[in-house]
Structure 1
Amino acid sequence: MDLGLGDATAVVVGGGRGMGMAAARCLADDGARIILVGRTAAVLDAAAEELAGRGSPDVLGLVADTGDEAQVRRVFGQIGDRWGGELNILINAVGPSVQGTFDVLTDEQWRTAIDEGAMGMVRCVRAALPLLRRAEWARIVNFSAQSTQRQSARLSAYTAAKAMVTSVSKNLSLFLAPDEILVNVVSPGSIASEALTGWAETVGVDGSDPYALMAAIDEHFGHPAHLPRAGLPEEIGPVVAFLASKRNSYMTGANINVDGGSDFT
């Protein structure tokens, strides 16, 4: 399907690897111009080179810590200068790294989880809004998590941060509806990300085997999907790309589970 991205400009925050990169690949395949925002220059440079090879006519990696308001404003100022003050697509794919049960998490860990998992998204949307409003059409896609709907004791702060992403996104879809800027959320389930496959190795499971990975998730967390395997990052990318595209012309305020099957919510 032609997503209508040939003249589109897109920013993917956290797009250097994992699910963010999977989404960026789909945008590049459709000819979008892309800026990746992340913390590590080498990762961004390698990802940008790959996306250029896939067909993106203008791709760049910009280093910024989304926990720093000044850095976020600087980066989006550069983006505005590069593309004439307009932006069609903003994808926020950064998640918190904090894990632990409620009884062991400190105040500082809670603050870190909320800042990494939610406030970074808030800062990026705030900085991008003038650029999005100037564009002929604009979309925002934020990453939440299916764990907000099926809780895990070890992910209390992580889940709280992702629930904030979902709530703020819902509010943004209402706030930005008069501008016809569509805002949606994607909630991945158990996806074979670096973090999840790394955890699997610590419990003696081959994280590269999605079937073994789902069995381990069932054993340790009690949250198996209906399908007997974990998902792959490349199974998230097309969903995000559609929501971010011109083809999506009437879906806003939605939270889309990509989780291999779970309870309807």
Structure 2
Amino acid sequence: MSYKVAVVTGAAAGIGAACSKRLAKEGVAVAVLDLDAERCADTVKAIKDAGGTAIAVGADVSNRASVKAALEQVREALGPISILVNNAGVTDFTPFEELTDERWDFIYAVNVRGLFVMTQECLPDMKNAGWGRIVNISSSSAQTGAVNMIPYSSSKGAVVTMTRSMAQEFGPWGITVNNIPPGSVMGTIMSEANREKFQIPTEVLLQTIPVRRMGEPDDIANACAWLCDERSGYVTGQTIGVNGGRVVT
């Protein structure tokens, strides 16, 4: 892969950190973005220690001014942005009848508006280059639904449909847009919160996964790196499920 610059959101830990490291391994310069740049230090250090190029950037993806300032930092330090991984997200376990307007709006601000703002602000660089890769991290909850997770699962459903429409709109500029809905992935903030909330024994959960193991952040990162590669240029608008077969299409 020739010199490319990627922005990965929600990249301080979990799937975002794994995607950052995997892209850096492919020779991509990575802007590791999270709400607080200091939280990204470990990810950046791991990339640099492995010989890669990375910087830490802080931004609230739902706030356009914050995003603009962060992306200017990226352009000044690394150059125009050609890869965007929209991974930042928040979850919720509130029963539907107990949801407040404020909680609903917060989930959608991060999971949906955040993706909209990040993509819109990175898009000019990709169009100018005639090349771009956008990978949106959705959720298997968007495919199956989930009890007590209506704002989360529906917001991730919006990510799936936004991906399809973006792929059609951006395709003429050589920009592909795909989404990955992870299944049960160990070591992420969301998955651990989910397990703690619902107290599902691991052996019971594994019975719902045909490959009989939990996912790891690297499983998602490997698929993300492939979608960002030159050789995946004819793949766009797709949902690439990385879930051990829990959801099949």
Give the TM-score, by structure 1 length.
0.87
Q: Does 1:76 align with 2:71?
A: yes
CA–CA distance in 2 between the matches of 1:214 and 1:129? 44
Deviation by residue 1:113-140 (Cα, 9 ceiling, x = unmatched): 1111111011000111111112252100
CA–CA distance in 2 between the matches of 1:71 and 1:160? 25
Question: What residue in structure 1 maps to residue 234 of structure 2?
Answer: 250
CA–CA distance in 2 between the matches of 1:216 and 1:183? 31
For the residue of structure 2 that corresponds to 1:62, the secondary structure is: strand
Question: What residue in structure 1 maps to residue 202 of structure 2?
Answer: 213
Q: Does 1:60 align with 2:55?
A: yes
**TM-aligned CA deviation for residue 42 of structure 1:** 2.5
Question: What residue in structure 1 maps to residue 101 of structure 2?
Answer: 107
Question: What residue in structure 1 maps to residue 176 of structure 2?
Answer: 182
Question: What residue in structure 1 maps to residue 139 of structure 2?
Answer: 145
Gaps of 5+ in 1: 206-211, 219-223
**TM-aligned CA deviation for residue 194 of structure 1:** 2.6
Residue type of the alignment partner of 2:181? S
What's the RMSD between the two structures over aligned residues?
A: 1.9
Question: What residue in structure 2 maps to residue 226 of structure 1?
Answer: 210
**TM-aligned CA deviation for residue 229 of structure 1:** 2.7
Residue type of the alignment partner of 1:92? N
CA contact (8 A) 1:114 1:160 kept: no
Instruction: Please show how residues 1-265 of structure 1 align to structure 2 within 5 Å.
Output: 4=1, 6-56=2-52, 58-84=53-79, 86-192=80-186, 193-201=188-196, 212-213=201-202, 215-216=204-205, 224-265=208-249
CA pair 24-186 structure 1, distance change in 2 beyond 3 A? same
**TM-aligned CA deviation for residue 247 of structure 1:** 2.1
Structure 1 runs of 4+ aligned residues shifted over 4 Å read 201-205
CA contact (8 A) 1:145 1:189 kept: yes
CA–CA distance in 1 between the matches of 2:89 and 2:202? 20
CA–CA distance in 2 between the matches of 1:250 and 1:204? 42
CA–CA distance in 2 between the matches of 1:228 and 1:93? 25
CA contact (8 A) 1:98 1:112 kept: no
Residue type of the alignment partner of 1:236? I
**TM-aligned CA deviation for residue 28 of structure 1:** 1.3
Gaps of 5+ in 2: none
